Chain A
Amino acid sequence: MGIKFIYSALMKQDGKDKVQFPHRHLLGIEGLSPEEISILLDRSETYVDQNRRADKTTPVLHGRTIINLFFEDSTRTRTSFELAGKRLGGDIINMSVDTSSVKKGETLTDTAMTLNAMHPDVLIVRHPHSGAVKLLSEKVNCAVINGGDGSHEHPTQALLDALTIRRRRGGLSGLLVAICGDILHSRVARSNIHLLNTMGARVRVIAPKTLLPPEIERMGVEVFHDMSAGLKDCDIVMMLRLQRERMNGNFLPSIREYFHFFGLDYKKLGHAKEDALIMHPGPMNRGVEIDTDVADDVGRSVIREQVEMGVAVRMAVLELLALGSIGGDG
């Protein structure tokens, strides 16, 4: 238990230099260096180009087995990983685990050990509980990618957001980014806070007090409770999805009240920089956290571009971890 393998994922880049990514798993953004994040983003760029061609495949993962293990409903992330795996020529299968059947007996570690016996090269895991993906990674011999664990981290989302911003703005350093909405429950927010801080951006969070976790400022963010003050001079506005069950009287009095104070409309957006980009990890609740016209504003909203970048980022992550996990390539 707990034996730590550190492999170097050695990769030939355009047949020239070898690039190293010295982690066996991608469990979170916290702890990654700026160089390591840049390696992932640089590699993703090549796949953005490839994904725009008619022939979108390169068989770098030919013969490798990738399992998409989802303990929580997800269409977008699962599909994005599936497409990424297929475009790299890997054998990718989806496994949706009904959490109720897990409750009936088989524990997470049992599931991990069962799958491990099938010799996968990469496991992509999404789980409703924070830390569950890390626990699972300790029980298997293959690379593990965190596809989102509880309210903890969602590293590929932060990477695809970073790639989207970098392509639009040329870099991340020095940008002022506001993350708005349900920070309390958001793994997307946490991964983005880590990544943006690591890459030298300034991060603000804007939310009502009931949707902010305690001492969030110690993660290196400025806290605002007012959209007009928080959005002032921002380069990037990241909206977060608000889960239905948190809307009515629980954390918030009503959708109407939330949209009035925290929903992104043109009026509030007017406080940000004129060319500020609007982002959202999806799926959006139109009229709840974001006004529908703002979401569809082709000049400002990069929400669809984020989806495109997602496939490219996941290809890069799969490649680096899959080739690393057998230790012999490159």
Chain B
Amino acid sequence: MAVKNEYPSGKVAYINARLLDPATGLDTPGGVLTEGEIIADVGAGLFKKKDAPKDAMVIDCGGKCLSPGLVDMRIEVGDLASTALAAVSGGVTSAVCLPNTEPVIDDMSVVEFVARRARKLGLAKVYPYGAVTKGLQGIELAELGLLAESGAVAFTDGIKAVADALVMRRALSYAATFGLMIVQHPEEPALAADGVMNAGEVATRLGLFGIPPEAEVILIERDVRLAEATGGRLHIAHISTAESLDAIRRAKDRGINVTCDTAPPYFALNEAAVGDYRTFAKLSPPLRTEEDRQAVVAGLTDGTIDAIASDHAPRDEESKRLPFEQAAPGGMGLSTLLAVSLELHHNGHLGLLDVLRLITSAPAGLMGLEAGALKKGAAADLVLFDPDEGWKVNADALGGKARNSPFDGRPVQGRVLRTVVDGRTVFEPEN
């Protein structure tokens, strides 16, 4: 893959594009003019007769889709440089990283450090979550207010649930003081205990301990009550079960301020992907049953699920080439976010704009980011893609050291042709 830095301060005219802006519902042939780091003009009529400004570099989009760069509301960052590269190769221009970094993002200095390092790389923009509790220990509240002032966009203990009900109640309540959002990893740890995959027939056959679906819905129902009682702002991460969706649906119907997201593995795979102890399919939450997968698709279709996050979690070879019980959970997701999400469109569950909204303007709105829209004056973060071009996921070719994609070998449709961050092309596939 090639990373180019061109025309850092000049004008670039993207002509002959199919413009897609989920924020406004725009789907039309047209063009975009960027000037320096911002979008100077955008519209259906733009460059109709190839009348791009003389001083602009012209990029002919060949009728392909040009949309706001993707916004990924949950990734884990191992090595920031390779993560940022994986992001732009997947068309992601803004991502929010979990606080389970080394050191943990529970201190203002770390918030600033992450943002500064990402800016220096000049690839995808990386925004940090702050920890809900100090050291992600689930005991004492972190400095939510100060962390927010330094740039933390929302708060979560990452891939650990805030398990203690009183701590969660206080977190929601205190965060509400400043209008901050708490994002919960919905898994009751006592019920998940020794579990390593979904509880059920497959786990029973493999002799593996299961994580029952109740572990998820129980925590969601508890936290919905706490959000209602405190007036706190609650977001549930990576919904994986049918029952969880019912709980969220009921909460939303009652007018409680709760939102949720899911990740591609939960609408594109089920527990059968574990097969014969495939550790790349060991995720948290675990892959569930086919009925659960279908319920997640239905939740995306009917709007119960507010956004899709990649759940990108790079793991090195050593932590995956182990007996299943010992292997680390987590799968890479940035490079496949667009293509796997587009399956929802290709399979007729959602329109193209609806899919894009779930990975652009919707997560940007949840996280309060100025991103995910094609509008004059906005940062020129764009992705050019062909929604139909087929390719096969090859874990070895996803870039970076890690190769743990749960989608390895999967034929997909939807290819990123160019990723633009702040007006600069930062990614184009080779050939």
Specify the main secondary structure of chain A where it touches its partner. mixed
Check if B206 is an interface residue, CB within 8 A of chain A: yes
Specify the main secondary structure of chain B where it touches its partner. loop
Check if A24 is an interface residue, CB within 8 A of chain B: no
Question: When each residue 256-286 of chain A gets 1 if its CB lies under 8 Å from chain B and 0 otherwise, what string results?
Answer: 0000000000000000000000000000000
Question: When each residue 36-53 of chain A gets 1 if its CB lies under 8 Å from chain B and 0 otherwise, what string results?
Answer: 000000000000000000
Q: How far is the CA of A219 from the CA of B276 in the complex (A)?
A: 16
Number of residues on chain B facing chain A (CB within 8 A) = 21
Check if A129 is an interface residue, CB within 8 A of chain B: yes
Q: How far is the CA of A150 from the CA of B200 in the complex (A)?
A: 17
Check if A60 is an interface residue, CB within 8 A of chain B: no
B326 close to A129 (CB less than 8 A): yes
Residues on B with C-beta less than 8 A from A150 are 207-208, 323, 325
User: Which chain B residue has the least Cβ–Cβ distance from A71?
Assistant: B323
B206 close to A130 (CB less than 8 A): yes
A218 close to B322 (CB less than 8 A): no
Check if B199 is an interface residue, CB within 8 A of chain A: yes
Check if A153 is an interface residue, CB within 8 A of chain B: yes
B206 close to A131 (CB less than 8 A): yes
Q: How far is the CA of A131 from the CA of B325 in the complex (A)?
A: 9
In chain A between 103 and 139, which residues have their CB closer than 8 angstroms to a CB of chain B? 107-109, 127, 129-132, 134-135
Check if A314 is an interface residue, CB within 8 A of chain B: no
Residues on B with C-beta less than 8 A from A30 are 205
Check if B388 is an interface residue, CB within 8 A of chain A: no
Q: How far is the CA of A134 from the CA of B279 in the complex (A)?
A: 13
Q: Which residue of the partner chain, among A135, A190, A215, contacts B207 with CB atoms under 8 Å?
A: A190
A131 close to B323 (CB less than 8 A): yes
Check if B204 is an interface residue, CB within 8 A of chain A: yes
Q: How far is the CA of A318 from the CA of B209 in the complex (A)?
A: 31
Residues on B with C-beta less than 8 A from A130 are 206-208, 277, 323-325
Residues on B with C-beta less than 8 A from A152 are 206-208
Check if A328 is an interface residue, CB within 8 A of chain B: no
B204 close to A135 (CB less than 8 A): no
Q: How far is the CA of A219 from the CA of B205 in the complex (A)?
A: 7
User: Which chain A residue has the least Cβ–Cβ distance from B324?
Assistant: A131
Check if B318 is an interface residue, CB within 8 A of chain A: yes
Contact status of A213 and B203, CB under 8 A, knowing A109-B321, A129-B326, A131-B323:
yes
Q: How far is the CA of A187 from the CA of B206 in the complex (A)?
A: 10
Q: Which residue of the partner chain, among A129, A135, A215, contacts B200 with CB atoms under 8 Å?
A: A215
Question: When each residue 183-212 of chain A gets 1 if its CB lies under 8 Å from chain B and 0 otherwise, what string results?
Answer: 000010010000000000000000000000
B201 close to A218 (CB less than 8 A): yes
Q: How far is the CA of A151 from the CA of B208 in the complex (A)?
A: 7
Residues on A with C-beta less than 8 A from B206 are 130-131, 152
A107 close to B322 (CB less than 8 A): yes
Q: How far is the CA of A155 from the CA of B201 in the complex (A)?
A: 20
Q: How far is the CA of A108 from the CA of B210 in the complex (A)?
A: 23
User: Which chain B residue has the least Cβ–Cβ distance from A189?
Assistant: B207
Shortest CB distance A11–B (Å) = 28
Check if B406 is an interface residue, CB within 8 A of chain A: no
User: Which chain B residue has the least Cβ–Cβ distance from A194?
Assistant: B205
In chain B between 279 and 326, which residues have their CB closer than 8 angstroms to a CB of chain A? 318, 321-326
Contact status of A107 and B318, CB under 8 A, knowing A130-B277, A130-B325, A131-B324:
yes
Residues on A with C-beta less than 8 A from B207 are 130-131, 149-153, 187, 190
Chain B residues in the interface with A (C-beta under 8 A): 199-201, 203-210, 212, 276-277, 318, 321-326
A-B contact pairs, 13 of them (CB 8 A): A129-B326, A130-B208, A131-B276, A135-B321, A150-B208, A151-B207, A151-B208, A152-B208, A153-B207, A214-B204, A214-B212, A215-B204, A219-B205
